[in-house]
Amino acid sequence: MSFASLNLNPALVQALAAAGYTEPTPVQAQAIPVALTGFDLMVSAPTGTGKTAAFVLPALQRLSLAPARHGRGPRVLVLTPTRELAMQVTEAVDKYCKFSRHMRTGTVLGGMPYPKQRRLLEQSLDVLVATPGRLIDFIDQGKVDFSRLELLVLDEADRMLDMGFIEPVRRIAAKTPATRQTMLFSATLDGKIERLARELLRDPKLIEVAGAQTKHENIEQRLHYVDDGSHKHRLLEHVLREECQAQAIVFTATKHGADRLADKLFHGGHEAAALHGNMNQSQRNRTLAKLRSGAVRVLVATDVAARGIDVASISHVINYDLPKVAEDYVHRIGRTGRAGAMGTAISFASSDDIRQLKMIERYIGQTIERWSVPGFEAKNPMRSEAPRRGNGRPGPAGRRGAPPARGNGNGRPAYRGGNAKRGNANPR
């Protein structure tokens, strides 16, 4: 199947080809034709499957037609849970309308000056991308006009609910025309999401693609047991120096933990930087720009980066601290293995992490492969499990480990990197 077969405008197909995208992903192939007919949509698909293009492309096709009414305010509103995701959606709009008429796009989000965003809302916009909290601020000030809104998109709706945005989302939707088309995209469609959909959508078409228990076949998932913080840091240093040849995101549980670890890695010779919610938007934008340019090789982040970062050169995701919420594991590891690449997701776990680990494995429907690195083994692997060794020797319980590792000429095992391409690249 090609993008042209989805009845998209030639200018959009041309932009996709220029970006190197040849075939739609399953969620794009199913959602775009339905969206173009004007039906409301409720879509469930895991992170990294191309959901952004699945709603941006039909939105841009709608915007190629004359507006139903003139005035100020947006014709399309996209609500996202995080600032990073809002910026990613804005970048996607700019990329896909490269050969279309100029689109007036704006973002309204926290961490940026109010006056500039207030002036933006006084204009006629094609697309407004916003986080709920900041948009509610402007609604309360009477600065938002939704009278000509045609399309409302709720992106990562499950995350918005987790972050406490359900009431702001309801209030925003209540200010928009009842005639609007609404599209809801979520990694899961649990009871809360279904209730919200019944409130905001009209007879929606349901599309479910590769549910939350997807096996992430292009991502090698590994678990390393650690004894304590010192052991964990030494193992992290080993992975970054000996295995990761591209870029990595290292996830921590707290903002202060991200700062401390990034500082420690930086002074240890790594091109490292932190990303978390205490940074203002300008700081976060600069850090992400350095990540995309390659100036930052190791990004140490909280779950603020678990959604909304799409950098194809991320070969490794490392869960320095396991996530508190099992679903966040899926979103974290989805930062690697993008655009057809292979990726590696490594998690560290101590005896204090048993409960979190079991929750994660139940959620993803699989056991994460246990690994150990010669010289970095845990003294007491939990529950006497036999970790998979990197040298092909049998584990402690007699179970055979991994096939022999490829040598790198220095006596240390070499691991599979995340740069091998497989299949066609697709828009994310």
> Which pLDDT does position 2 carry in this prediction?
87
| DSSP label at residue 239 | I
Q: Of how many residues is the chain composed?
A: 428
Q: In what order do the strands lie in the sheet with 369-372?
A: 272-275, 298-301, 247-251, 314-319, 343-349, 219-225, 369-372, 388-389
Q: Please tell me the distance from the alpha carbon of residue 121 to that of residue 144, in angstroms, as a whole number.
A: 6
- Going by DSSP bridges, is the β-strand pair 413-414/406-407 parallel, antiparallel, or unpaired? antiparallel
> Residue 183's beta-bridge partner residues?
41, 153
pLDDT, average across residues 135-149: 94
Q: How distant, in Å, are the alpha carbons of 260, 264, 297, 370 from that of 269?
A: 15, 9, 11, 29
> Which pLDDT does position 412 carry in this prediction?
37
* Residue 420: pLDDT band with limits 50, 70, 90: very low
pLDDT at 6 over 80: yes
Three-class secondary structure of residue 300 per DSSP: strand
* Residue 49: pLDDT band with limits 50, 70, 90: confident
Q: Please tell me the distance from the alpha carbon of residue 352 to that of residue 354, in angstroms, as a whole number.
A: 6
> Which pLDDT does position 305 carry in this prediction?
67
Q: Which CATH class, in words, describes the domain spanning 219-414?
A: alpha beta
Q: State the number of CA atoms in the 13 A half-sphere of 344 facing the CB.
A: 22
What b/e string do you get for 54-86 counting C-beta neighbours within 10 Å, with b at 16 or more? bbbbbbbbbbeeeeeeeeebbbbbbbbbbbbbb
Return all residues near 212 (Cβ < 8 A) that are at least 6 apart.
46, 187, 188, 327, 330, 363, 364
Q: Please tell me the distance from the alpha carbon of residue 127 to that of residue 129, in angstroms, as a whole number.
A: 6
pLDDT, one tens digit per residue, over 355-413 is 999 999 988 888 999 998 998 988 876 653 544 555 433 333 333 333 333 333 333 33
> Which pLDDT does position 359 carry in this prediction?
93
* Residue 417: pLDDT band with limits 50, 70, 90: very low
E strands present in 41-131: 41-44, 73-79, 105-108, 124-130
What's the mean pLDDT when you consider all of the chain? 84
Q: Please tell me the distance from the alpha carbon of residue 388 to that of residue 372, in angstroms, as a whole number.
A: 6
Q: Are 291 and 248 in contact (CB under 8 A)?
A: no
- Going by DSSP bridges, is the β-strand pair 314-319/413-414 parallel, antiparallel, or unpaired? unpaired
pLDDT, average across residues 125-153: 95
pLDDT, average across residues 59-82: 90
pLDDT at 225 over 80: yes
Looking at the chain, the domain(s) classified CATH 3.40.50.300 span 4-208, 219-414
Q: Are 57 and 223 in contact (CB under 8 A)?
A: no
pLDDT, one tens digit per residue, over 254-311 is 999 999 999 999 999 999 999 998 888 788 889 988 998 999 999 999 987 666 677 8
Domain 4-208 fold: Rossmann fold (3.40.50)
> Which pLDDT does position 399 carry in this prediction?
34
The H or E element that residue 35 is part of is helix 26-36
Q: Are 332 and 309 in contact (CB under 8 A)?
A: no
pLDDT, average across residues 159-170: 89
Structure tokens at 186: 């979520």
* In the block, residue with structure tokens 């959620």: 363
pLDDT at 321 over 60: yes
- Give the rounded distance of the alpha carbon of 216 from its chain centre: 14
Q: How distant, in Å, are the alpha carbons of 51, 79, 167 from that of 136?
A: 25, 11, 10
pTM of the predicted model as reported, rounded to 2 decimal places:
0.66
pLDDT, average across residues 211-237: 84
User: What percentage of the chain carries pLDDT values higher than 70?
Assistant: 86
pLDDT, average across residues 50-64: 94
Q: How distant, in Å, are the alpha carbons of 74, 82, 162, 169 from that of 165?
A: 21, 11, 7, 6
Backbone angles phi, psi at 275, to 5 degrees: -145, 120
* Residue 170: pLDDT band with limits 50, 70, 90: very high
